[in-house]
Amino acid sequence: MGQLLIVQGEDEREVQSLFQRGLLAFEKLVRLRPQQEFNSGSTAVAKFPKLLKPTSGIVQNSVGPGWVCGAGTWFYDGMAGETALAALLQVSATGERALQSRLEAVDGIFAVALGNPATDELSVITDRVGSLHIYRTRINSCLVLSTSSMVPAALSHPAWDLVSCREFLASGTIFFGQHTLFEGIEKLESATVFKYKNGCLQSQSKYWDPSAVMYDRVKVHGDVEHLASALEDCLAVLSRNFSRPMFDLTGGLDSRALLGAKLHVPGDFETVVNGQDTDPDVQIANRIAREFQLKHRNESPQVQSGGNWWRRAQEALPLCDGEYDLLLYARVLDVHSRLAADADASINGSYGELCGGYCWHLLFPFTGWKRRFNDGKVARARFGYDEELSDLMEYRFPESLGDHFSAVVRHANAGFEARPNTVQMDNHTLAVQVPRWQGRIASATCRLWPCVSPFLWRIPLEVALTTPASDRVRNRMKRRLIEHFSPRLARVPLTDGCPALPLRVNTAYLFLPATRLVSKKVKRIMQPHLAAFGLPVNKAPNPIRMLWEQREIQELLSPGNMATRTLYRPHGLERFLQSSKAEVFAGVRGFGRILTLELLAQALRGFPLDDGDGLHTQRQRLQGALSVRPGDS
């Protein structure tokens, strides 16, 4: 919950000077003041509040010099908040080995920092799948750790990381390794304990290894009964810690499986679906709510006008750090801002897809085979990149975007090449998709209020990964799971008209609507090719036009004055922005990414980088810091 800033180094004066500038950066850029600070000379830490809910501060040891604080939404031995932190601090006081042995009991979306002023040691623990983003950089002799990448960028005025900018413009996310939009600032790895002293890394160790709990390496395999029990245990923990949880409910399988588990666990709760009344997801969720007499609400989007959309996009920048399309997150922010007024936590079914063989259809007809994994095919399907947008950049990369993303897949799966391709796909999901895509959205939402994804807790995740491919393929496990919880819930149709039941001889007739779904998918795939034959193609109106009505956007995206202009080819940028004003515009997503980078650069341009020594003006410093370095790739 909330955010963190930590500065550590040998020179106490430098630590304090940098820490004070970091607090100023948080206030100016992230719009937060610290709710609590702790200084021990070599280490300075600040805890910042969540925007919409109370959050735990810095917990100090009552019998010793230690302290602990966290960001995100964490649970330890069934406890949450300050109670969980205090218990974890007591364990750490007994030694590093004891702490490592108890980390299996920690769950959630979090980064936790523990300090010992007596030894000048600092430990930082990242969550099991890397959902909560926390960043590291060095400034002079000091280590800087922050949950906001904007803050270290403001303090160190780095150059753009051109590879990350390319990925972001093409796909809307940064996927490669631990990179960020800036050189020298990196995201900390998942499931790791980092130990620092005097600003230097002393050790780092993994406390959880997904490769060891996948079905091809374990003796005891997972099954529906174990997964059902694990989810019920998770929801019992949530019921003890949140009196008014809000569960996402859609027309799909994942949220329905969570609802099925919750129906077996005591405690009040509400459900919510987001969208218009005509949306298939909304219609199915509303039907479930009626049949099971749930406390349910339908949140229709209220970001309708260009002015509202633009305002929410600006508010989203300090939540997303410029690492997620602000036009997309503006709608998420709008919904969660309203939900937080009536509930105390958001519960979602994120990555319940792992129970159903997530993206295993890309492996067909060799599903489960060894050495049959097409990196390029996986990259095209999983990253959804846009080659055209990559051509906007001034720097010419030596490899194509397709080759680059194929290399990202290979890098993530290094060491898995001889294992079944289903295991490789699961590993890719956990190593890339969960921490970088889901994690970026979850990190932003956790800055508003508690956000929980039970399928990514240790035991449900391990049960899913240890279940053989034959029991998970084509959503078999999830369908059986829903039926296990409630056959009546499983019979309610999905958005494709088919039930959530497993496909059997006696249920086959219920799956006839699937033929219509296949027809619609074929038509959608063929749409881009219809124009070549002179046939009509569906063209959606351009929502970006209403944004261009805002005078601020007209001034912000004037190519000659843009802070990011050196990233782009001038004529390509001009053409793209002009086409975005047309009645029909194919690059809606790309527009949001260009706008996001520009808002980020403008925010950093407005932050003073020095302490008033007058050696450089703010503009001079940032023109160099935010310019392209052509030799970098």
From the list 290, 240, 249, the residue with the least C-alpha distance to 268 is 240
From the list 380, 371, 425, the residue with the least C-alpha distance to 400 is 380
Does the structure show a pLDDT above 80 at 617? Answer: no
621 within domain boundaries: yes
Q: What is the pLDDT of residues 100-156, one digit of tens each?
A: 999 999 999 999 999 999 999 999 999 999 999 999 999 999 999 999 999 999 999
Average pLDDT over residues 54-83: 93
DSSP state letters, 337-371: HHHTTT-SEEE--TTGGGGG-TTGGGGTTSTT-BS
Q: What is the pLDDT of residues 28-37, one digit of tens each?
A: 999 999 999 9
Q: Return the CATH number at 466.
A: 3.40.50.620
- Do 197 and 253 lie in one domain? The reply is no
573 within domain boundaries: yes
- Looking at residue 436, the DSSP 8-state letter turns out to be I
- Looking at residue 6, the DSSP 8-state letter turns out to be E
Strand partners, 273: 298
Does the structure show a pLDDT above 80 at 610? Answer: no
Q: Return the CATH number at 70.
A: 3.60.20.10
Asked if residue 100 lies in contact with residue 91, where contact means CB atoms within 8 angstroms, the answer is no
pLDDT at residue number 432 = 96
Asked if residue 164 lies in contact with residue 179, where contact means CB atoms within 8 angstroms, the answer is yes
599 within domain boundaries: yes
Provide the residue range defining the domain that includes 104: 3-149+185-208
- 371: alpha, beta or left, given left = phi > 0 and alpha = psi -120 to 50? left
- Do 444 and 466 lie in one domain? The reply is yes
Token pair 């069934």: residue:
78
27 within domain boundaries: yes
- Do 289 and 395 lie in one domain? The reply is no
Token pair 């602000």: residue:
326
- From 404, 421, 438, the end of a domain falls on 421
Q: List the alpha helices (DSSP H) in 343-485.
A: 375-383, 387-390, 401-412, 421-428, 439-446, 458-466, 469-472, 476-485
Tokens of 422: 């289903």
Asked if residue 353 lies in contact with residue 423, where contact means CB atoms within 8 angstroms, the answer is no
- Do 390 and 446 lie in one domain? The reply is no
pLDDT at residue number 516 = 62
Q: What is the largest CA-CA distance in the chain?
A: 80
564 within domain boundaries: yes
The b-or-e profile of 301-316 (16+ CB within 10 A means b, else e) is eebeebeebbbbbebb
Whole-angstrom distance, CA of residue 603 vs CA of residue 599: 6
pLDDT at residue number 626 = 42
- Do 392 and 271 lie in one domain? The reply is no
Phi, psi of 39 (to 5 degrees): -125, 135
How far from 469 is each of 39, 221, 342, 479, 623, CA to CA, in Å? 51, 11, 41, 15, 53
Whole-angstrom distance, CA of residue 425 vs CA of residue 374: 10
- From 375, 402, 421, the end of a domain falls on 421
The number of CA neighbours under 13 Å toward the Cβ of 483 is: 15
What pTM was estimated for this model as a whole? 0.91
Q: What is the pLDDT of residues 150-204, one digit of tens each?
A: 999 999 999 999 999 999 999 999 999 999 999 999 999 999 999 999 999 999 9
Does the structure show a pLDDT above 80 at 524? Answer: no
Count the Cβ atoms, other than its own, within 10 Å of residue 372.
Answer: 13
Asked if residue 355 lies in contact with residue 624, where contact means CB atoms within 8 angstroms, the answer is no
pLDDT at residue number 520 = 58
24 versus 541: which is more confidently predicted?
24
119 within domain boundaries: yes
- Do 234 and 266 lie in one domain? The reply is yes
What domain count does the chain have? Answer: 4
- Do 235 and 288 lie in one domain? The reply is yes
- List CB contacts of 162: < 8 A, sequence separation 6 or more: 393, 395, 397, 567, 628, 629, 632, 633
Whole-angstrom distance, CA of residue 459 vs CA of residue 349: 15
Does the structure show a pLDDT above 50 at 615? Answer: no
Q: What is the pLDDT of residues 450-508, one digit of tens each?
A: 999 999 999 999 999 999 999 999 999 999 999 999 999 999 999 999 999 998 988 88
- From 421, 436, 468, the end of a domain falls on 421
Does the structure show a pLDDT above 60 at 537? Answer: no
- Do 432 and 411 lie in one domain? The reply is no
295 within domain boundaries: yes
The three-class DSSP label of residue 59 is strand
Q: What is the pLDDT of residues 410-454, one digit of tens each?
A: 999 999 999 999 999 999 999 999 999 999 999 999 999 999 999
Asked if residue 260 lies in contact with residue 481, where contact means CB atoms within 8 angstroms, the answer is yes
pLDDT at residue number 621 = 35
- Do 224 and 124 lie in one domain? The reply is no
Segment among 111-120, 286-295, 606-615 with least mean pLDDT: 606-615
Whole-angstrom distance, CA of residue 158 vs CA of residue 609: 11
- Do 561 and 502 lie in one domain? The reply is no
Q: Where are the beta strands (DSSP E) in 220-309?
A: 245-248, 270-274, 296-299
Say whether the peptide bond before residue 34 is cis (omega within 30 degrees of 0).
Answer: no
322 within domain boundaries: no
- Do 390 and 448 lie in one domain? The reply is no
Whole-angstrom distance, CA of residue 272 vs CA of residue 600: 32
Strand partners, 139: 142
Whole-angstrom distance, CA of residue 87 vs CA of residue 77: 9
pLDDT at residue number 612 = 38
Does the structure show a pLDDT above 60 at 625? Answer: no
Count the Cβ atoms, other than its own, within 10 Å of residue 381.
Answer: 12
Does the structure show a pLDDT above 90 at 531? Answer: no
- Looking at residue 158, the DSSP 8-state letter turns out to be P
- 451: alpha, beta or left, given left = phi > 0 and alpha = psi -120 to 50? beta
Average pLDDT over residues 17-41: 95
How far from 606 is each of 181, 283, 324, 554, 620, CA to CA, in Å? 18, 46, 21, 19, 12
Mean pLDDT of the chain: 91
- Do 351 and 371 lie in one domain? The reply is no
First to last CA, the chain: 35
Whole-angstrom distance, CA of residue 495 vs CA of residue 401: 34
Q: What is the pLDDT of residues 312-328, one digit of tens each?
A: 999 999 999 999 999 99
